[in-house]
Amino acid sequence: MSTLEIHQIPTRSDNYVYLVKDRGTKRTGVVDPSDAAPVIAALDGLGWTLDTIICTHHHNDHTGGNLELKERYRAHVVGPRADRDRIPGIDEMVGDGDTWRLGGAEARVFDTPGHTRGHITYWFAETKALFCGDTLFALGCGRLFEGTPAQMWTSLSKYRAVPDDTLVYCAHEYTQSNARFALTVETTNADLADRVRRIDALRAAGQRTVPSLMGEERATNPFLRADQATVADAVGKPVADPVAVFAEVRLRKDSFR
């Protein structure tokens, strides 16, 4: 096995697209290309070409560049089996429990439905990188457009296998607004308060807050903490029912302004 070199490209108003290159074979991929132009510019700047387009889910802000990039580079498109009809240009389908490789860099695939019904996550354990699309965000999680709270809680619970020192490469810079909401849920979480101070400082300096560490998410992200008494108490649901807690936290976030 080998590891990935990762290059982050900010696109649109708040999207992140990732170029990934296997250090062993030099095979190169792009994760969730919202648009072709910024990806082409980044590849040109690095002197890289493109072999593979790696998709987490069908939304246009993750697949808008698929067809143009596929044609320009003769690239191969991998994406969720459960959503094969909605991933532009898909060639290879993967799903829960599959092992997928970019050259020698190995990823474990999780089905993580909730935001969309076919959403998947790629975990490159040796690189310590999780490409989770719109399932998990720094201090947040994706909206439930096509899934239930129970599905999303199950999806997020799959990340328990992922170590604390893994970097979470989510697809949007939503962190600061997520942070304001998280503070309303866990008012006494010192790790959260400290993290929000650091996030505010980064944003004030015009810097990115993504990727984040999985360990930090576990300690501070209210959506990963629906099984914690502090979160259950805050939303008035029993700690024995994390799905109900999660559902209530998600509901409150949906109307939070």
Closest to 168 measured CA to CA, from 3, 1, 8, 2 = 8
Smallest separation, CB 59 to Fe ion (Å): 5
Which of the following is catalytic: 32, 35, 51, 62? 62
**Considering only 59-67, 71-79, 105-113, 150-158, which stretch makes contact with Fe ion by CB under 5 A?**
59-67
**Considering only 61-69, 112-120, 212-220, 221-229, which stretch makes contact with Fe ion by CB under 5 A?**
61-69
Residue showing tokens 């029912």: 241
Q: Is 134 a catalytic residue?
A: yes
Secondary-structure breakdown of the chain: helix, strand, coil percentages, each rounded to the nearest 5 = 35, 25, 40
User: Do 128 and 165 form a contact (C-beta atoms < 8 A)?
Assistant: yes
Give per-residue burial for 32-53: e unless 16+ CB within 10 Å, then b.
bbbbbebbbebbeeeebebbbb
Which of the following is catalytic: 32, 83, 111, 134? 134
Q: Is 7 a catalytic residue?
A: no
From CA 73, how far away is CA 131, in angstroms rounded?
A: 22
134 binds Zn ion (CB under 5 A): yes
61 binds Fe ion (CB under 5 A): yes
Task: Say what angle helices 149-157 and 242-254 make with each other, to 10 degrees.
Answer: 110
User: Do 223 and 246 form a contact (C-beta atoms < 8 A)?
Assistant: yes
- Nearest to Zn ion of 21, 57 (CB atom): 57
59 binds Zn ion (CB under 5 A): yes
Which of the following is catalytic: 61, 83, 111, 119? 61
- Nearest to Fe ion of 27, 115 (CB atom): 115
Residue in 22, 51, 111, 134 binding Fe ion, rule: CB under 5 A: 134
172 binds Zn ion (CB under 5 A): no
Q: Which residues would be at the binding site for Zn ion (CB under 5 A)?
A: 59, 134
Supply the residues annotated as catalytic: 57, 59, 61-62, 115, 134, 172
